[in-house]
A and B are shown apart, each in its own frame.
Chain A
Amino acid sequence: MKSKIRPRFFKFSLCVSLIFSVTLIILLPSLVFAATVYVKKIKTKITEAPSPRSKIIAVINPGVPLEIISRKGKFYYVKLPNNKKGWVFKFKVTTKRSTGKDGDDELFALLVGERKTKADEASTGGSIRGLSRISERDAKSRGIKSEHIQSVKNMENLQISLEELESFQLKGRLGEYSETK
C-alpha cells in the first residue's frame, strides 16, 4: 500500500511544482516590475538614460499611466502608453491614481500648469484665484490691518518658475540631479 501511494504522489507533486516553476519563470519579470504608476508633476521628462541630462524622449503631464519595467537608483525604466520606453525620476510618479476629488487631482494640476505656462513659462507657485473673498471678509471683521491682508496676497503672488526650480536643484545637485556628478 505504502509503496503504491508514494511514487504516484511524488509524480503528482513533481508535476505541480514543475507547473509552478515554469509559470514563475515566465511571469517573474512582470511580477517584480509590472506596476503601473501615474505621472504627478507637470512637464515630467522621460529620458533615454537614467539621468536628467540625457536625451529627452517625451515630456508628459499628470495622470499619464506608465508601466514600470525596471529600476536603477532613483529612476524607473518605464513604458509609455504609446509603447515608447524611457527613464523617469521615481518621485515624479505615484502609485495613486487620481480620484478627481480634492484640489490635487490631475485636472487641477493641468489647469494650474496651463495657467502658469501661459503666465510665466510654467511656474509652480501662485494660485488660481488668490486670497478668497471669504477669508478677506473674515480678516477685516476681526480688525486685521490691511498690510497683513496684503502680505497674504503678496505671499500668493510670489511665483517660482519651473526653470528657476530646476536650475536651483541642478546647482545644489538635488532632485533629479542628486545622483549626477
Chain B
Amino acid sequence: MKLNDMRFKYFFIFIMAFTFSPVGFAPSSSSETLEDFLRAMDAEMQRQLEEERKNLKKPLPEKQPEKQKQQNQLEQQRQEEPLGGILGTIIKDKKTKEIIGALGKGIQSLQPIQYNEEKALGGAIATQVFSRFGGSYNNKSLLQYVNLVGNSVAMFSDRSNIPYHFAILNNPEPNAFAAPGGYVFITTGLLRKIKNEAELAGVLGHEIAHISQKHTLRTLQRSRSIQGISELSLSLMDKNPAMFRNIINDISTILFEHGLDQKLEYEADRVGTEFAYRVGYNPRGLNDFLKTLRKIRGKERSIFFKTHPSPSHRINKLLTEVLPNYRGIDKYRILTSRFKVETKGKL
C-alpha cells in the first residue's frame, strides 16, 4: 500500500506539473516556426555537406623512400591523433578526444564567405551567363516589370537586406539562373511559358531562395579549388587571379553543367514558394508553372532539364510537402491580367 501511495503521489505531481507547466505555452507563430524550421534545415544541410566533404576520397600516395615513409607514418599518426600534448595525456577517452579534435579542425576550415566576396564571385558568373545564354534582352518596360515582381519577392525573403538584380536573357530555351550575390536571370523562352504574375513570382522566388540559402556557396565548399583556403577575402582574390579563375570554373560547372544537389533544388522550391506567399501571391504559382514545364519536357531542348530534378518530382514534393501548409490559398493573388498587359507584344 505504501508503494502504491508513493507511486500515486509522484504520478499526480508529474501530471500537475506537466499540465500547468508554462512550457506548453511557449510563444509561437507560423512565420517564427517556419524560420526556426528553415534554420534547422540549413544546419542539417551544412552538417551533411561537412560529412560529404570529409568522405571525399583522398589521393593515392606516391611511392616514397623507406625513411620518408616512416616519417610520414609518424606525421600521419600525429595528425590522426585528435589531441596531443597535455590534453592528450589528461583525456584518455577516445570519443572525447575525437570530439575536441574535430572542433579544432573545424576552426581551420573555410570561414563563411562574406557579401563583398560573394558579390565578386557572382559578378564574374553573371558576365558568363550573358555570354553563354544569348546576351541581354533589352526591353525597358518588361525589365522594369520583372524587377518589380522580383524585388517584391526579395523584399520579403529571409535575406532581404542585400540588393537583388534581375535581367532577361535573349534565349528561346526556358531557363532561369541565380548567381551568388543577388544576380537573377530569366530567359525570354521561360517568360513566354508563364501565364500569370503568381507563376513569375514563384519562379523568381525559387531563384531568390538559391541566393538567400547560399546554395551555390555551400556547394562550392566541397570543390577542389577552395580546399586549403581558410578565408576567401577580396585581397586574396585580387592577388591570385588564377585561384579566382579556378573557383569561377567550379561555380560554372556547378551551375551550367552538373546543377545543384536535388535536395537544394527541392529546398529552393519550398523556400521560394514561401517568399512568394509572403508577398501575397498564390503559393501555387511555382507548382502551376512546373506543370507547364512537365508538358514541354522532351519537346524542347534546355539545360534546365539536365540541371534540375524532373518537373513531376518537384510537383509531387510541392503537392505533398509544401502546399498543404498553406490554408485558404484561393484568396491570394494570381494577377493574370496584369501579367498579360505588362508582357503583351514585348516577347
Interface of A with B (CB < 8 Å)? 1-2, 5-6, 9, 13, 16-17, 20-21, 23-24, 27-28, 31-35, 40-41, 62, 68, 71, 90-92, 94-96, 101-106, 108-109, 112, 124-127, 131-139, 141-142, 144-145, 147-149, 151-152, 154-156, 158, 160, 164-165, 168-169, 171-175, 177-178
Extra contacts besides A103-B161, A104-B115 (13): CB < 8 Å: A5-B5, A17-B19, A20-B16, A31-B22, A40-B160, A41-B155, A90-B29, A132-B119, A135-B127, A139-B127, A144-B127, A155-B165, A155-B167
Q: Nearest B residue to A40 by beta-carbon distance?
A: B160
Minimum Cβ distance to chain A for residue B100 (Å): 25
- Shortest Cβ-Cβ A-B pairs, 8 listed: A103-B115, A178-B280, A135-B123, A20-B20, A139-B127, A148-B130, A109-B161, A135-B124
| 30 chain-A/chain-B pairs, Cβ below 8 angstroms | A5-B9, A6-B5, A17-B20, A32-B27, A35-B32, A41-B155, A71-B29, A103-B115, A103-B119, A108-B115, A108-B162, A112-B161, A124-B151, A132-B119, A133-B238, A134-B234, A135-B120, A135-B121, A139-B128, A144-B130, A152-B126, A154-B136, A156-B165, A158-B144, A158-B166, A171-B338, A173-B280, A174-B281, A178-B279, A178-B332
Give chain B nearest CB distance to A155 CB in angstroms: 5
The main secondary structure of chain B at its interface with chain A is helix
Contact of B241 among A24, A137, A169, A172 (CB under 8 A): A137
Q: Report how far A154 CA is from B278 CA in the complex, Å.
A: 29
- On whether the beta carbons of A31 and B127 are closer than 8 Å, the reply is no
B319 contacts partner chain A, Cβ-Cβ < 8 Å: no
In the complex, how many angstroms separate the beta carbon of B57 from the nearest chain A beta carbon? 30
Minimum distance in angstroms from A82 CB to a CB of chain B: 23
Whether A35 and B123, one on each chain, are in contact in the complex, defined by CB atoms closer than 8 angstroms, is: no
Q: Which of B22, B123, B147, B335 contacts A158 (CB 8 A)?
A: B147
Query: Is the beta-carbon distance between B25 and A62 smaller than 8 angstroms?
Result: no
Residues on the A chain within 8 Å of B160, using CB: 40-41, 104
Query: Using Cβ atoms and an 8 Å threshold, which residues of chain B touch A20?
Result: 16-17, 20-21
Q: How many residues of B contact A (CB 8 A)?
A: 74
Tell me whether A94 and B127 are in contact (CB under 8 A).
Answer: no
CB pair B161 A2 closer than 8 Å: no
Q: How far is the CA of A20 from the CA of B241 in the complex (A)?
A: 66
B161 touches A106 (CB 8 A): yes
- The reply to whether B333 and A90 form a contact with Cβ atoms under 8 Å apart is no
User: In the complex, what residues of B have CB within 8 A of residue A125's CB?
Assistant: 147, 151, 163-165
With most chain A CB atoms within 10 A of its CB, the pick from B112, B144, B147 is B147
A residues less than 8 Å from B13 (CB atoms): 13, 16
A21 proximity list for chain B (CB < 8 A): 20
Chain A residues lying within 8 Å of B31, measured Cβ to Cβ, are 90-91
Give Cα A92 to B335, complex, Å: 23
B148 within 8 A of A: yes
CB <8 Å contact, A174 and B25: no
Complex partner residue of A96 from B35, B118, B120, B122, CB under 8 angstroms: B35
